């Protein structure tokens, strides 16, 4: 699990998916990598998710929503659609990992 979260954490730097998204660079291949990482996360066997992992997960849906709101300023509709599909996939994985109220 540590390796997965180390890889996820790297996506927040300037070369990762979220870091690139901050500067309006859409790198869908990196976004798919994030989705693949999240799909491998499984906390079914433990009662409490460690704080260091929650720290990396909880902000992703909010961040992607905020960045998605800026897309019409610079992206074509087909790019916005691709982003929305990716955003939905990532959000679904995070809901699976963390659960919903």
Residue 101: predicted pLDDT: 87
Give 6-20 pLDDT, tens digit per residue. 999 999 999 999 999
Q: Residue 70: CB partners within 8 Å, gap ≥ 6? A: 24
Give 44-57 pLDDT, tens digit per residue. 888 899 999 999 99
Q: What is the end-to-end Cα distance of the chain in Å, rounded?
A: 24
CA distance 96 to 82: 21
pTM of the model: 0.91
Domain ranges in the chain are 2-98
Does residue 90 have a pLDDT over 90?
A: yes
């Amino acid at each position: 699990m540590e390796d997965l979260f180390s890889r996820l954490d790297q996506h927040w730097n300037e070369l990762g998916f979220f870091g690139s998204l901050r500067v309006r660079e859409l790198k869908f291949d990196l976004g798919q990598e994030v989705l693949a990482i999240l799909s491998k996360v499984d906390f079914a066997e433990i009662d409490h998710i460690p704080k260091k992992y929650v720290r990396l997960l909880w902000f992703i849906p909010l961040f992607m929503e905020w960045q998605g709101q800026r897309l019409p300023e610079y992206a074509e509709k087909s790019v916005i659609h691709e982003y929305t599909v990716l955003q939905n996939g990532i959000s679904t994985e995070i809901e699976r990992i963390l659960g919903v109220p």
